[in-house]
Amino acid sequence: MNGSAADPEGAPEGASAEVRAALAAVFDPGLRADPYGPLAVLREAAPVLYDEESGTRFLTGFADCQAVLAGPDFVVPDGPWLARERPEWAARPAADFFYASLLGTNGAAHERLRGPLTAVFGPRRAVELSAGVEKVVDELLDRFEDATSDGGAADFQALVGYPLPVAVVGELIGVPRAEQERFHRLGRDAARLLEPVRSDEDWRRADTAVTALREYFTGLLRERRARPAEDLASALLARAGAAGPASARRVGERAAGPSGGRERPPAARERPPTESELPLGERELADLLLLVFVAGFETTAGLLGTAVSALLAHPEQAALLRADPGLLPGAVEEALRWDGPVLMTERLAARPTEVGGVAVPAGGSVTAVLGAANRDPRRYPDPDAFLVTRPDVHVLSFGAGPHYCFGAALARLEAAVLLGRLSTRFPRLAPAGPPVRRASACLRSFDVLPLAATG
């Protein structure tokens, strides 16, 4: 993938007409509302489907997707891949950013970026943010109530679905409220980088947005260096300051024993930090904040819209939730499973290997179709049913393995708070016009979701 359109004409010779039509349907903008029927056809007929045109193997089974994401044989396309395979992109600011980011690095280079983030922001910190999330949800729902108080419809995504994650991730990173609207627009353009197939227009927009956001985050870091606050920018700076070469472990230090190390043996000299211990520079810290921002709001806005829409399409499930708020976490998992925001993600074989019994050469591309995996009947009985009481749900919607979503706990929290408040404040919420889906092959989200509060 990573550049050429997935043309069903490129399906392998010998693939049945049914399989070719199903692959075409998955990428057909007109069928975006429900790609799950065609994906089920692929899963049954060709669970590892090589598509010559896009040069990737589409994986639609749960076990195969999980094995590829969590196992040691596959890596993400990274800087060396960029230089080798797409040198024409290398000068683009957006490519320079993405292929050195968490999502575009492997092994020690990836650990080096991920370590500081997880050190300063774990799942517990997400829970600590819950009071802030509740406050923002209440404010946004007040606005939604005002907008629909005359019995009319309002666009839920414009009023709640997008502003909520922008505010939450903005708060987390340290972006002041007043600047968040501009950020929303820039973030949307930068998020075009998450597309598996990027058009020239995607690149152009992403380049402009990345350049502006880099400048912004560099300025923010400078400000926080002078005046630290309670946010990710300040925490990362503090950690980067505390690290540095002086903090590299000393070889033989423990061998110095009870003497307290005063007479360290000759072996007890400083060793240079390993690659994953090298402290992050200013540009890298700015890029880290930028990635968290970009990865954190389009996806969550997608979940919020599709979760609300799924509940409206299944009133009996919404009624169960109203009757028992204890079902909220399960409802969020089911929404992630049933129509998760990230449909697919690509990996490359690090060495000759196989998946689903099919050989993959070193460097060969595979695309884990997370949305298809989440509806695999071998993993979930009656997979197309939307059931807030479904047991044993472990979704692949946040990925798996080393690149497992950093913000999963925060996204789950936002969705649970929103669904809980909606079901008590707006028990008669109803669709009020045709929704508009985001024009994307990968990110499943509503751009527009007209709802009425008193339908």
Taking CB under 6 A as the rule, does residue 100 contact ligand HEM? no
Per CB under 6 A, does 40 bind ligand HEM? no
Residue 191 binding ligand HEM, by CB under 6 A: no
Nearer to ligand HEM, 191 or 221 (CB): 191
Among 103, 240, 286, 417, binds ligand HEM (CB under 6 A): 103
316 burial via Cβ count (<10 Å: 0-12, 13-18, 19+): exposed
Cα atoms found within 13 Å of the Cα of residue 137, Cβ hemisphere only: 21
- 296 part of the interface to ligand HEM, by CB under 6 A: yes
Could you say whether residue 220 binds ligand HEM (CB under 6 A)? Answer: no
Indicate left, alpha or beta for 137 from its phi (over 0: left) and psi (-120 to 50: alpha): alpha
The answer to whether 110 touches 102, Cβ cutoff 8 Å, is: yes
- Residues 408-427, interacting with ligand HEM (CB under 6 A): 410-411
Question: Is 2 within 8 Å of 77 (Cβ atoms)?
Answer: yes
Q: Which is nearer to ligand HEM, 8 or 170 (CB)?
A: 170
Regarding 291 and contact with ligand HEM (CB under 6 A), the answer is: yes
CB of 336 to ligand HEM, least distance (A): 7
| Interface of this chain with ligand HEM, residues 317 to 356, rule: CB under 6 A | 340-342, 345
x-or-dash string of contact with ligand HEM, 107-126, rule CB under 6 A: -------x------------
Contact 399, 370 (CB under 8 A): yes
Task: Write down the least CB distance from residue 415 to ligand HEM, Å.
Answer: 7
Q: Which is nearer to ligand HEM, 253 or 275 (CB)?
A: 275
HSE of 101, CA atoms in CB hemisphere, 13 A: 22
Q: Which is nearer to ligand HEM, 342 or 432 (CB)?
A: 342
Q: Which residues of 194-225 are buried (b: 16+ CB within 10 A; e: fewer)?
A: bbbbbeeebbebbbebbebbbebbbebbeebe
Helix (H, G, I), strand (E, B), or coil: what is residue 48? Answer: strand
Contact residues toward ligand HEM (CB under 6 A) are 102-103, 114, 169, 291-292, 295-296, 299-300, 303, 340-342, 345, 397-399, 403, 405-407, 410-411
